[in-house]
């Protein structure tokens, strides 16, 4: 993609002008003048936030809660998964949906650090931190329905296409200036201490829905929530004002007068003083007043209860809370403030108010701000650490323990722990052994001999044949030499082990047998036929006798066919694997199985059934142990080659993939870091190939020598792919590979 194409694409993302045909249909008249805003935003601020304690409390509650949610920077890995993630997070959020969203985000996005975008968001402008900046955006939006973010770019230099400072404009002082039917929004005018016009492309205008279309462009402004709640706001203000006036200006409760009209002013004053002295006070409460004249009472005004001020005030608070989707319980409403109600109210605040607001801001920043910093970047708020939206821990633990279809690292994420990138085994799936079809042949032979208290973890020094005519001891090789009618023995190095073969040298052995030794000294993972490395059971044990009896019985019936003939070593390997399966997950074993030997014998029976019938009744297993030529025989595992490692951190793979992605995107002329060997190593890590010990040691050596390249050079902050040292360092796995490679190199 050329520079002009990229610039054009960037403009199209930031461009906010609508189509001419749409404009002609919507606008009756739109000249090159200020678009009139029918809303009086000053009223919402001066009579709302600055005057009304309820509105102030609601806005502050929203602000303080929202600013605690972190805004992270990610690199997009999968566009389709990102669409699924956005669709899921834009709806009503629950603990379950958040967990699912976090799994999808893992496939869609990869979090990155130390970019220019991080630096900008940490301090959007010299006068503000991220917290105060995001609070201004939210507060103006909740009060006026409009949020104006003003971006400023450098006048010159390599970063003149990137926003370097971001300011929030006072929305009550911003007007839209039209350029006519072809350009409904040409400028945004800040009418404060004079007028200041700002290009439309330099403003990110985030507005709430406004259904008022009058043909003059008034719908270009957002509608304030207080527009719908204006009467509730007025009622709340008047209730407080009236109550204050009532308390400040209380008059006499009424007039006591004679029906005959014969009381003069002096007599009236005397009657008042006598009444006050004789009948007022707590000691005269409930006393009887007797007068010689007929008197009547005329009431003055109404009491606070008669005016229903408290009821009207409380009703208006609930209306204002409903407008902002804030539970009234959180405003110290003691009528329903039980512990459980408060917990549920906090959940509702996040689900119905905070998250929709932040998602709206996120989407607009990804449209307007992010493209200037890179095409594959994405901003997103991290909701996974909101404690109110987390299920009770015991429920989560129980659910995760039963979710075998998730990897341990995915379970760690679901429980708000970080991914353990140093242990690759935590990225594997672990399926319970009891999840097999019901028809699986796991029949137990009641006549089988069983061993008692045999320690299979103990290593016995047993002489054995490693491969055909390859022995672990010189004595066995000498015995074989006598069988072949040759003299002496010779040695080979098999990895780190010395093995013995018959005959004085290998050439003599080849002349006698006519076969070449299939011997592996490289990392090609090749293996010869009949190559079974086993962990021998104790000689003379009941297990050994039982397995040998099975070999004899099977071969007596089916051994004439070479593809069905079994050996003791075959069954011993199957048996040992059964022991391992039992010990790895004993909770998955069927209740009828009472010992590891019983479970292992059942596996042997299943294997023999497959050998003689040519099919499995259930899941496949031990395919590498079938006789040569058997239709179920699979490619055997190589257990005699040099030790290799595949459990290196996923983070190392991600670093290598990122470097390869940069080379594909920008070309080798731009991404100049790394040697031919380094790029080959990156391909190895990206494809999760096995690494030999010598390769791991070379990786450790390289990363140790170049640890100063672990961080991006500051002058390449915006274009890290041009940092040769940083690219070369991450081709070998980067920082994620350091501790793992060191541990393997030093311990082996």
**Do 25 and 151 share a domain, yes or no?**
yes
**Do 397 and 379 share a domain, yes or no?**
no
Residue 256 lies in a domain: yes
Lowest mean pLDDT segment, chosen from 53-57, 536-540, 606-610: 536-540
How confident is the model at residue 438, as a pLDDT? 39
Of 578, 594, 625, the residue at which a domain comes to its end is: 625
Percentages helix, strand, coil for the chain, rounded to the nearest 5?
A: 50, 10, 40
**Do 201 and 93 share a domain, yes or no?**
yes
How confident is the model at residue 314, as a pLDDT? 81
> How does DSSP classify residue 194?
S
For residue 648, pLDDT beyond 60: yes
Residue 338 lies in a domain: no
Q: 554 pLDDT band (50/70/90 cuts)?
A: very high
Highest mean pLDDT among 360-369, 443-452, 702-711: 360-369
Mean pLDDT across 588-617: 79
Residue 327 or 528, more confident: 327
Residue 376 lies in a domain: yes
Domain that holds residue 412: 393-421
For residue 149, pLDDT beyond 60: yes
CB 627 within 8 A of CB 564: yes
Beta carbons within 10 angstroms of residue 616's beta carbon: 19
Residue 513 or 637, more confident: 513
Q: 393 pLDDT band (50/70/90 cuts)?
A: low
How confident is the model at residue 334, as a pLDDT? 60
**Do 139 and 42 share a domain, yes or no?**
yes
Token pair in block for residue 308: 């229903």
For residue 132, pLDDT beyond 90: yes
How confident is the model at residue 590, as a pLDDT? 62
How confident is the model at residue 618, as a pLDDT? 67
Distances (CA, A) of 401 to 103, 296, 317, 432, 522: 17, 82, 45, 11, 41
Please tell me the number of Cα atoms within 13 Å of 565 on its side-chain side: 7
Phi, psi angle pair for 187, to nearest 5°: -135, 160
**Do 52 and 157 share a domain, yes or no?**
yes
Separation of first and last alpha carbons in the chain: 48
How confident is the model at residue 311, as a pLDDT? 77
For residue 30, pLDDT beyond 90: no
**Do 564 and 496 share a domain, yes or no?**
yes
The 10s digit of each residue's pLDDT in 429-465 is: 776 655 544 344 444 444 444 444 434 343 334 444 5
Residue 582 lies in a domain: yes
Q: Which of 75, 6, 2 is nearest to 657 (CA)?
A: 75
Mean pLDDT across 368-375: 90
CB 640 within 8 A of CB 670: no
CA angle, residues 142, 144, 145, in degrees to nearest 5: 70
Residue 685 lies in a domain: yes
Residue 86 lies in a domain: yes
**Do 66 and 199 share a domain, yes or no?**
yes
**Do 105 and 205 share a domain, yes or no?**
yes
**Do 378 and 401 share a domain, yes or no?**
no
Please state the three-class secondary structure of 27-42 as a single string: CCCCCCCEECCCCCHH
Cβ neighbours for 342, distance < 8 A, ≥ 6 positions apart: 329, 330
**Do 295 and 411 share a domain, yes or no?**
no
Residue 420 or 286, more confident: 420
CA distance 448 to 446: 6
How confident is the model at residue 445, as a pLDDT? 44
CA distance 466 to 295: 125
Strand, helix or coil for residue 154? coil
Domain count, the chain: 5
Asked whether the CA dihedral 648, 652, 653, 656 is positive or negative, the reply is negative
CB 457 within 8 A of CB 468: no
Q: What is the pTM of this model?
A: 0.52
For residue 23, pLDDT beyond 70: no
Residue 502 lies in a domain: yes
How confident is the model at residue 165, as a pLDDT? 94
**Do 378 and 400 share a domain, yes or no?**
no
Strand, helix or coil for residue 624? helix
**Do 417 and 279 share a domain, yes or no?**
no
């Amino acid at each position: 993609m050329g520079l002009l194409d990229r610039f054009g694409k960037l403009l199209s993302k930031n461009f906010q002008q609508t189509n001419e045909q749409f404009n002609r249909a919507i606008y009756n008249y739109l000249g090159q003048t200020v678009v009139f805003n029918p809303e009086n935003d000053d009223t919402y601020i001066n009579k709302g936030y600055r005057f009304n304690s309820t509105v102030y409390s609601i806005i502050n509650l929203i602000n303080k809660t929202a600013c605690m949610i972190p805004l992270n920077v990610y690199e997009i890995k999968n566009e389709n998964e990102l669409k699924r993630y956005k669709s899921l997070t834009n709806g009503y959020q629950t603990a379950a949906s958040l967990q699912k969203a976090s799994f999808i985000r893992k496939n869609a996005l990869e979090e990155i650090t130390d970019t220019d975008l991080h630096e900008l968001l940490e301090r959007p402008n010299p006068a503000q931190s991220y917290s105060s900046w995001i609070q201004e955006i939210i507060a103006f939006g909740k009060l006026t329905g409009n949020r104006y973010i003003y971006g400023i770019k450098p006048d010159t230099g390599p970063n003149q296409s990137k926003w370097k400072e971001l300011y929030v404009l006072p929305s009550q002082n911003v007007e839209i200036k039209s350029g006519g039917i072809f350009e409904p929004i040409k400028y945004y005018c800040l009418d404060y201490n004079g007028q200041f016009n700002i290009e439309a492309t330099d403003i990110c205008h985030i507005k709430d829905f406004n259904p008022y279309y009058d043909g003059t462009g008034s719908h270009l402004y957002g509608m304030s929530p207080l527009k719908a709640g204006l009467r509730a706001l007025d009622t709340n203000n008047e209730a407080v004002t009236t109550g204050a006036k009532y308390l400040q200006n209380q008059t006499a409760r009424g007039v006591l007068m004679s029906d005959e009209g014969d009381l003069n002013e002096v007599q009236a004053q005397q009657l008042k003083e006598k009444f006050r002295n004789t009948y007022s006070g707590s000691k005269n409460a409930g006393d009887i007043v007797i007068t010689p004249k007929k008197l009547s009472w005329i009431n003055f005004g109404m009491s606070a209860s008669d005016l229903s001020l408290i009821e009207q005030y409380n009703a208006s608070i609930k209306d204002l809370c409903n407008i902002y989707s804030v539970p009234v319980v959180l405003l110290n409403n003691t009528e329903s403030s039980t512990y459980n109600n408060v917990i549920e109210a906090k959940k509702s605040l996040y689900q119905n108010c905070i998250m929709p607001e932040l998602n709206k801001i996120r989407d607009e920043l990804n449209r307007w701000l992010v493209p200037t910093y890179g095409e594959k970047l994405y901003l997103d708020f991290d909701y996974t650490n909101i404690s109110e939206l987390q299920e009770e821990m015991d429920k989560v633990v129980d659910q995760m323990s039963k979710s075998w279809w998730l990897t341990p690292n995915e379970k760690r994420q679901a429980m708000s722990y970080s991914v353990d990138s140093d242990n690759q085994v935590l990225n594997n799936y672990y399926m319970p052994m009891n999840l097999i079809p019901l028809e699986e042949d796991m029949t137990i032979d009641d006549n089988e001999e069983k061993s008692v208290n045999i320690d299979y973890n103990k290593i016995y020094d047993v002489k054995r044949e490693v491969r055909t005519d390859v022995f672990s001891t010189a004595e066995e090789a000498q015995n074989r030499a006598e069988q072949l009618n040759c003299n002496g023995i010779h040695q080979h190095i098999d990895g780190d082990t010395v093995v013995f073969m018959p005959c004085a040298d290998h050439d003599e052995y080849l002349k006698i047998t006519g076969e070449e030794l299939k011997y592996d000294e490289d990392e090609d993972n090749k293996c010869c036929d009949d190559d079974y490395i086993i962990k021998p059971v104790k000689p003379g044990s009941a297990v050994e006798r039982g397995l040998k009896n099975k070999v004899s019985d099977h071969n007596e019936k089916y051994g004439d066919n070479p593809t069905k003939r079994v050996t003791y070593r075959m069954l011993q390997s199957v048996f040992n694997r059964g022991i391992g399966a039992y010990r790895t997950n004993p909770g998955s074993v069927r209740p009828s199985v009472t010992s590891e030997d019983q479970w292992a014998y059942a596996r042997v029976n299943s294997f023999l059934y497959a050998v003689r019938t040519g099919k499995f009744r259930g899941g496949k297993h031990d395919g590498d142990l079938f006789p040569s030529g058997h239709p179920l025989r699979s490619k055997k595992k190589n257990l005699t080659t040099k030790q290799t490692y595949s459990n290196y951190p996923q983070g190392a793979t991600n670093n290598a993939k990122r470097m390869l992605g940069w080379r594909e995107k920008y070309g080798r002329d731009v991404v100049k870091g790394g040697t031919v060997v380094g790029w080959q190593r990156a391909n190895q890590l990206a494809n999760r190939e096995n690494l030999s010990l010598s390769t791991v040691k070379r990786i450790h050596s390289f990363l140790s020598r170049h640890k100063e390249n672990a961080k991006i050079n500051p002058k390449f902050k915006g274009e890290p792919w041009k940092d040769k040292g940083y690219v070369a360092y991450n081709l070998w796995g980067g920082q994620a590979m350091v501790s793992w490679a060191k541990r393997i190199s030093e311990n082996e």
